[in-house]
Amino acid sequence: MTRGLVLGKFLPPHAGHLYLLEFAQNFCSELTVVVGTLESEPIPGPLRFEWMRELCPRAQVLHLADENPQSPEEHPEFWAIWRGSLQRILPQPPDLVFASERYGERLAHELEARFVVVDPARTALPVSGSAIRERPLAHFAFLPPCVRAHYALRISIFGPESTGKSTLSAQLAEHYQTQWVPEYARAFLEHRAGDLRDEDMATIARGQACAEDALARSANRILFCDTDPLATQLWSDALFSQVPDVVVQAAAGRSYDLTLLLEPDVPWVADPVRYLPEQRDGFFSACRRALQRADRRVVTLRGNFEQRFVAARAAVDALLEEKQA
């Protein structure tokens, strides 16, 4: 029985980490992964801990949140501090320490273990956490699904009924070879034959958010969302003159890198789950006000469907160029 240890920040986890962990699990009988985090780091420690629990189901994953120094230059007792933290959290001393960095050899010495180096030159997978944090979209292929969901640009397609939101979402997803999120309310209402009640709005808002978060894991840099919970809030007010607190909270809890607001200047197409054919202009105005209050980055699209598609691509390309610069 050999016990192995991998210590890391996983800021964020990437393919290089997964290679290290798979190597370690193949090399030893039992592997413990310690996720060391600081409060000041750009990705919350509890989130990274949950990511690593998902990514390492065969290992024991522990979270070390001690505010320890990050290099020997920061504190004369650097190694003693880390030795104490690890001895406190580890259920048993490790026999082996796996790492790609030079610190691994000294860490193994401090824990009276043997050091096993893994791809120190990053030959197998040339990527690093710092490179990903600096330009996440450029290194998207190295990210596991849970981390892709964190970094994917989210673009909401927003506006009144029968303005081509679903069509545009599908077109953009095909053009950028990525995923789009269908409107949850449509599936909900079609199942109910169009019967909508005020108590349903909370389910619709939650369903939209959950669908978005689920599909973000398979996104390729961008996730296009056919509406979002803020629209559910507007519909609740328009149809029932009230908005449940849970819907307000769902809307406030979402953020989008860009919102494409569609004007109601295309012909109305009747549909069993469309409700306000005569109020599209008023609903558009309500959408614009709500997006302004939410301080969203908005590009308004108008004209025929081809003109909207062209303008939408220009807006998305500008966002991609900005985020990848």
Q: Is the pLDDT of residue 64 over 70?
A: yes
Q: Quick one: 21 and 53 in the same domain? A: yes
Domain boundary among 103, 133, 163: 133
Q: Which of 73, 105, 133 is the last residue of a domain?
A: 133
Domain assignment present for residue 211? The answer is yes
Q: Are residues 229 and 113 in the same domain?
A: no
Domain count for the chain: 2
H/E stretch holding 309 reads: helix 305-324
145 in a structural domain: no
Of 119, 122, 150, 123, the closest CA to residue 137 belongs to 150
User: Cβ contacts of residue 169 below 8 Å, gap of 6+?
Assistant: 157, 180, 181, 182, 224, 225, 226
Same domain, 42 and 98: yes
Q: Are residues 45 and 171 in the same domain?
A: no
**161 and 121 together in one domain:** no
CATH code at position 270 = 3.40.50.300
pLDDT in tens, 89-137: 999 999 999 999 889 999 999 999 999 999 999 999 999 999 999 999 9
Please indicate, yes or no, if residue 93 is contained in any of the structural domains. yes
Do both 119 and 165 map to the same domain?
A: no
What is the domain extent for residue 233?
152-324
pLDDT at 272 over 70: no
Say yes or no to pLDDT of 33 above 80: yes
In a domain, 147, yes or no: no
How high is the pLDDT of residue 325? 66
Give the CATH number of the domain where residue 47 resides: 3.40.50.620
Give domain status of residue 37, yes or no.
yes
pLDDT tens-place string over residues 212-262:
999 999 999 999 999 999 999 999 999 899 999 999 999 999 999 999 999
Are the beta carbons of 52 and 61 closer than 8 angstroms? yes
Q: Looking at the structure, do residues 168 and 289 belong to the same domain, yes or no? A: yes
Instruction: Please indicate, yes or no, whether residues 76 and 201 belong to a single structural domain of this protein.
Output: no
Same-domain pairing of 214 and 243:
yes
Identify whether residues 12 and 126 lie together within a single domain.
yes
Name the band, by pLDDT with cuts 50, 70 and 90, for residue 167. very high
161 and 127 in a common domain: no
Look at the pTM and tell me if it is higher than 0.85. Answer: yes
Angle (CA) 42-48-49 rounded to 5° is: 140
DSSP 263: P
Average pLDDT over residues 20-30: 97
**Cβ atoms within 10 A of the Cβ of 98, count?**
26
275 pLDDT exceeds 90? no
What average pLDDT does the segment 75-83 reach?
Answer: 96
> Based on the domain organization, do 217 and 253 belong to the same domain?
yes
